[in-house]
């Protein structure tokens, strides 16, 4: 292809999830000179939500890749330059109201579809859009993909979703020749937010930590802190620096629970379910959370409001090769033990294999960490911020205890619960723990919920 017919497209890191402003480049799946098809994965990027593959918006040839694995890239940064075929339509930048045109004779650099290409629609009146703090129109990745496929420019679509967000239905309506008049509510709040962000005083600069000087470098190995391990480090540090941790440790006599699980194993297998103790524990936690709503809350730092959540989505800590991952089982309070067992097995398996969808890692209200298969007596778990509570359970083991003035062997389980003391009072934390113990010691109560 001659330079006279070249059409270069700068692909920018798209908005890939709510609240995500940057990601770590994990791996390149293409290299300069490779031919790529539309929607072919080009690179992997890790955000604080998940690791995702980013596809090419057009068929073409990779001219340049920007960045090395381990590098942090911001939403909107140019990551790949693609040479499109002669005559291919180039996406126009977001604010423009020009229609798509065939590639120009002279070389042209155009912005990649972090926003959708413009469709062949009549010139509309100016539409005000709700935008995020970076000035980007509010729309989910799925909506952006639909806009690309239908040849619709999001700048010409009035949003009717929450807070002015553009929905798939909005895109389809415009693609079918629907009205493009802006909806009544104007995105004043978003405009103010952008202005405030632009004029805010810079954050104080933190002094860099001194480098650790080695005295025996030949006996040491240095591994770059990147990928999942880096995200875990950041999340743990954020939790300890923000939440005021306090931990309660108690024990439960789960002899009856062990018996119930043993009796239920065959029935579970008949339903294609592997029944562990974890589903019983999750069910008990969900019941207790309903009775102690402050444990199912979060603190909105920006508005200084407590957010009480009326849904019970429990995170399950999973140890994977890449590090600790917390997929979420939704609406635990509404599901049977077999349903919970099946979903725990499914989300944990995807997490271990790095196949978790972003949605599976979002929306948790409380976390349970089970380390019983590994060992340990007690733990002091770190809160999965911005949640306000986490439960760690260790191994069940027979121990001598006193019952009716006699020493007997019982199956005992230690429970360690950490809470954010800014939100949860100590008395409520202990009562919450006591309720979980009561449910685990009398497991038939779980079958009635």
Contact 56, 11 (CB under 8 A): yes
Active site residues: 421
Confidence at residue 174, expressed as pLDDT on a 0 to 100 scale: 87
Burial class (CB in 10 A: 0-12, 13-18, 19+), 333: middle
Low-confidence ranges of the chain (pLDDT < 70): 1-6, 17-19, 48-49, 86-136, 141-142, 163, 178-210
Confidence at residue 141, expressed as pLDDT on a 0 to 100 scale: 64
Confidence at residue 208, expressed as pLDDT on a 0 to 100 scale: 58
Confidence at residue 171, expressed as pLDDT on a 0 to 100 scale: 87
Q: What is the pTM of this model?
A: 0.61
Q: Cβ contacts of residue 333 below 8 Å, gap of 6+?
A: 286, 287, 289, 290, 312, 449
Confidence at residue 374, expressed as pLDDT on a 0 to 100 scale: 82
Confidence at residue 165, expressed as pLDDT on a 0 to 100 scale: 77
Confidence at residue 18, expressed as pLDDT on a 0 to 100 scale: 53
**Across-strand partners of 102?**
89
Confidence at residue 423, expressed as pLDDT on a 0 to 100 scale: 97
Confidence at residue 380, expressed as pLDDT on a 0 to 100 scale: 93
């Amino acid at each position: 292809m001659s330079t006279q017919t070249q059409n270069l497209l700068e692909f920018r890191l798209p908005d890939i999830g709510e609240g995500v402003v940057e990601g770590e480049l994990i791996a390149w799946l293409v290299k300069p000179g490779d031919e790529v098809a539309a929607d072919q994965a080009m690179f992997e990027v890790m955000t604080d939500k998940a690791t995702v593959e980013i596809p090419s918006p057009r068929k073409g040839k990779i001219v340049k890749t920007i960045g090395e694995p381990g590098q942090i890239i911001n939403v909107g940064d140019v990551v790949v330059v693609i040479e499109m075929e002669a005559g291919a339509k180039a996406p126009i930048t977001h604010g423009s109201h020009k229609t798509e045109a065939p590639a120009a004779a002279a070389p042209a650099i155009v912005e990649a579809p972090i926003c959708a290409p413009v469709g062949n629609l009549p010139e509309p009146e100016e539409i005000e859009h709700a935008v995020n703090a970076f000035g980007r129109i509010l729309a989910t990745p799925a909506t952006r993909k639909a806009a690309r496929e239908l040849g619709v420019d999001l700048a010409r679509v009035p949003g009717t979703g929450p807070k002015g967000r553009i929905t798939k239905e909005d895109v389809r309506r415009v693609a079918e020749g629907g009205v493009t008049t802006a909806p009544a509510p104007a995105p004043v709040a978003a405009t103010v937010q952008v202005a405030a962000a632009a004029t805010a005083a810079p954050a104080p600069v933190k002094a860099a930590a001194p480098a650790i000087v080695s005295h025996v470098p030949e006996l040491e190995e240095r591994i770059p802190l990147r990928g999942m391990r880096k995200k875990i480090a950041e999340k743990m540090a954020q939790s300890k620096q923000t939440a005021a941790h306090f931990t309660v440790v108690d024990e439960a006599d789960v002899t009856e629970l062990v018996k119930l699980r043993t009796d239920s194993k065959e029935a579970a297998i008949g339903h294609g379910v592997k029944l562990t103790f974890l589903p019983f524990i999750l069910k008990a936690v969900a019941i207790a959370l309903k009775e102690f709503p402050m444990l199912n809350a979060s603190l909105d730092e920006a508005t200084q409001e407590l957010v009480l959540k009326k849904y019970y989505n429990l995170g399950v800590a999973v140890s994977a090769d890449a590090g600790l991952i917390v997929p979420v089982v939704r609406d635990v309070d509404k599901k049977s033990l077999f349903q919970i067992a099946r979903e725990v097995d499914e989300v944990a398996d995807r997490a271990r294999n790095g196949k978790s969808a972003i949605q599976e890692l979002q929306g948790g209200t409380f976390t349970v960490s089970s380390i019983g298969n590994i060992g340990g007596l007690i733990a002091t778990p770190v809160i999965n911020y911005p949640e306000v509570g986490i439960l760690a359970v260790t191994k069940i083991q027979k121990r001598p205890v006193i019952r009716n003035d006699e020493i007997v062997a019982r199956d005992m389980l230690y429970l360690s619960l950490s809470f954010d003391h800014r939100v949860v009072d100590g008395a409520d934390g202990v009562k919450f723990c006591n309720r979980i113990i009561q449910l685990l010691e009398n497991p038939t109560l779980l079958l009635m919920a």
